[in-house]
Structure 1
């Protein structure tokens, strides 16, 4: 019956529908089931690309044996339920929330955290209490608490006290995705810095050092693409500092460069950092440090072959 548990044959029909490229709504119509039933079934059993009927049925039966004989949870309101004030069908909203959660799970978010996030995203206010999440998701308060803690750690949700009801609400801000983007950019920048130090320690002339240098270049580029890259002023300062080092011909410290150029030390430091982080700007030279920490410029690794360097008198 429409409200009962999915049978093995139902799951085979779902797998066949996915193989045909059908959407959840069409599969649900063929089985006379709510769309949310299909979306939940697929999401919890490998997603649309990894759904296997036999495995899904076996996994469901195994979970049922562990839980013991419990009544099935009530299905979400069907298509006949009244639309909300904006004319939206509850069935369609719930189906989208499940699809959104499934996508988050496929990208590494724990399932309960994904369901909580999806519920907040699809709520007009963008805010719900723990009790509302427990009722809406039909889960335990502990599950909601754990999911909220996880999402807070990612800076995806925040909590605030409702002074009228003396309880906390959990919110998702409109700029949450921008904050997440910038956090990712900072993480990539840190990875670039770590790999740069590793390349210096291992020496880029060795296979391990060269590998770390390529890693550095990758994360520098990725971080800059996300955060916007160096400004025009920093770009110009970088070229000036490199020109100064070429003209000097011998290593110079940041203090010496600042004195010679008549710049604040911070401006020189920013230009040197840009030269290290953006090898495309410094090409065809690259910065090198001596034991005192002074900088000099050398031909960028890879620009000249060993035979060419030897022919020029610097193997």
Structure 2
């Protein structure tokens, strides 16, 4: 059985990271820094990029900042063979519909829909919200972000397939269930069969790939490692892929104990590598303690051969 959309656009297979947003020490958006992040990630072998997501601290950006950064992303991906995915995490259906249409009009290749979760809306209202956004961008690829671990919103595979039966533009599901594997299998094995990207930092990436996942959507600070795992797996060098992922896993498992924790860890990794100037997360955040900062340094030392410093940049400690 062929997954919906799986053979239509290879840009939605492979590694599709979420872009981080660099801030100045004063907490302002670093526009030039974001442009550098986009350009760097586009050169790592990814097939798509997404903004905004949890890794982008979307819940700490105002509307004008989100619009500005989305415009920078779309300008820099225009004409490239890398898909630009604009996420719509807005809680109000009216606003989500408006933002989805605006993203498509601005040139987004796909829209990611994060179902509303604030104050636990009824399940039928969540489905109605998703359907309204899907209707608003009919003809454009849509991705449903299923993140019960982060949001508490639970949708059954059958409910998701029902959405796909009624809306042919729902082509993929980003699965961040814990564990993701059973959901990936249920979505692939049903009718219609839905392609899946595994999120949650790819902690369970090997299991998801064995079950037929189309790719992974991690953060972007060490995306080269995920690209390497994917390339090894796709070329049949499964043991090497498992070996590299196994080396990453102790770090991923620790950082994924909290969303704010992994966002800060990734920001610090990016700053150490020279991808961004400051590892500032907007408050309230989750600062690293001395042991966790040392863990970042160990991580960078262990994988230094796979994580080059960008040309013209230097990774130096950020005295914030």
TM-score w.r.t. length of structure 2: 0.23
More helix by percentage: 1
Structure with bigger RCO (C-alpha 8 Å, 6+ apart): 2
Larger-Rg structure:
1
TM-score w.r.t. length of structure 1: 0.23
